[in-house]
Amino acid sequence: MSFDFDRVVDRTVGNAEKYALRQKLFGTEDLLPMWVADMDIETPPCIVEAVQKRAAHPIYGYEEVPQSAFDAQIAWMKKRHGLSIQREWMFYSHSVVTTINTAIHAFTKPGEKVVVQTPIYPPFMHTVTQNGRHILRNPLKRSEKGDYTFDFDDLRSKIDADTKLLLLCSPHNPVGRVWSREELQALADICLEHDIKVVADEIHSDLVYAPHRHTPFSSLSEAAANITVTAIGPGKTFNVAGLAISTVVVQNEAMRERFSTAYERIHFAQGNVFAHAGFEAAYSQGEAWLEALLVHLQKNSAKLEALCRRHSEKIRFVPPQGTYLAWLDCSGMDLGNRELRRFFIEEAALGLSPGTSFGKEGSGYMRLNFAVPSSVMDDAIAQLDLALSNFGEYGL
Ligand SMILES: Cc1ncc(COP(=O)(O)O)c(C=O)c1O
């Protein structure tokens, strides 16, 4: 079966965040928005059809997440990630960020510390501080070549008796790392030694490029599973963030009880009837689409890599091992962050996420979302190519 990843769908007609906020964020509507992490690529036909079918039934009342939907996700996790999950370990959640908030409430008290590995998806920081907990900042370590890894020495030197939780982003947004089993094991060893629980945000885990393989944190060992809350869902994989559905897996019974207490207080309820239908269709019928999508995304990533190679003295880019997010090292342009942002908006007409929104370690970086149809990617490359060629030449 073939899928069309080249079709451009007009998202300006709706209220798509990526487009609707252009004026507010960039001061103009006249740019290509490549920021928020959803795709400008159509949601798979199997999901669209399932949602349409559900919509045809004229009662949209309260509805349980169907057992068959959870079963489909359980089978998916086993097949694609080798992870065995039992239904009774699972919770429905409308949002991974809400899951993180819930886990912070369940496993920490105000004033305690939560490890955050910067640069990082911004809500990892906000959820900690907004709940009156402290961020224990453990920045990723960057090599000369631009690769990132964990900084275990820094982490060990900072952990104290108040350190209770670590927020793991795997694969990592924004740097695109798919953590190796060895890296995750070393992290698990530290957490186990210091009685630190882990929220493993694995929302990007299906978007991984061969030869890399996602290792679920809870699959490392029984001991690791016993300290882990895992967040997974179809939002990124199948471009259904707007359906607002994900799941939480908590294997350890005592942890599940604590999580459940915080969860009940918030009243997640059963979620949205259309999300139920889309969720089940995604995990039971979406695999061929995902395989084709990964090929398409890699082509876009390769185009960007070629562009950056041409302008390597200005922009450096290590292709992501997972996610559709490119972490562009623009330090060679030697601009302040404000000027760098202005360059992308005004000279390249591209709306990217500024690196500093992921923490101060993102200074000099921009994040570009390349989950777009081929022609849009070609436009973005051409715009950036011209802007980079002019940069320096005309004193821009
Ligand atoms: C790592 C990560 N976690 C969570 C989310 C958001 O998930 P949700 O919309 O389910 O809250 C994102 C979105 O970009 C993300 O990149």
Strand partners, 366: 328, 354
Structure tokens at 264: 């009940």
Q: Does ligand 1 come within 6 angstroms of the Cβ of 95?
A: yes
97 CB near ligand 1 (under 6 Å): yes
Could you tell me the two tokens for 195? 């009685």
For 205-219, the pLDDT digits (tens) are 999 999 999 999 999
Q: What CA–CA distance (Å, rounded) separates 229 from 226?
A: 9
Report the interhelical angle of 45-56 vs 273-285 (nearest 10°): 150
Pocket of ligand 1, candidates 36, 99, 121: which has the most ligand atoms within 8 Å of its Cβ, to mutate?
121
First to last CA, the chain: 47
Task: With cut-offs at 50, 70 and 90, classify the pLDDT of residue 145.
Answer: confident
> What is the pLDDT confidence band of residue 204, given thresholds at 50, 70 and 90?
very high
Measured from the Cα of 241, ligand 1's closest atom is: 9
User: How many helices and strands in the chain, by DSSP H and E?
Assistant: 14, 15
> Ligand 1 pocket, 200 CB below 6 A?
no
Q: Is the pLDDT of residue 43 over 60?
A: yes
243 lines ligand 1 (CB under 6 A): no
Q: What is the arithmetic mean of pLDDT over 336-360?
A: 98
Q: Does 175 contact ligand 1 (Cβ within 6 A)?
A: no
Q: Per-residue confidence at 78, pLDDT binned at 50, 70, 90?
A: very high
Q: Is the CB of 168 under 6 A from ligand 1?
A: no
Q: Which domains does the chain have, with CATH numbers?
A: 17-43+287-389 (3.90.1150.10), 48-285 (3.40.640.10)
pLDDT for 394:
59
pLDDT tens across 121-137, in order?
A: 999 999 999 999 999 99
* Cα(143) to centroid(ligand 1), Å: 26
37 C-beta closer than 6 A to ligand 1 = yes
Ligand 1 atom at minimal distance to the Cα of residue 244: 10
**Mean pLDDT estimate for the chain:** 97
| Ramachandran region, residue 132 (left: φ > 0; alpha: ψ -120 to 50; beta: rest) | left
Give the pair of three-digit tokens for residue 318.
Answer: 């290590």
- Going by alpha carbons, the residue nearest to atom 9 of ligand 1 is 95
| Six token digits for residue 15 | 């209220």
| 169 pocket-lining for ligand 1 (C-beta < 6 Å) | yes
Give 65's DSSP letter.
P
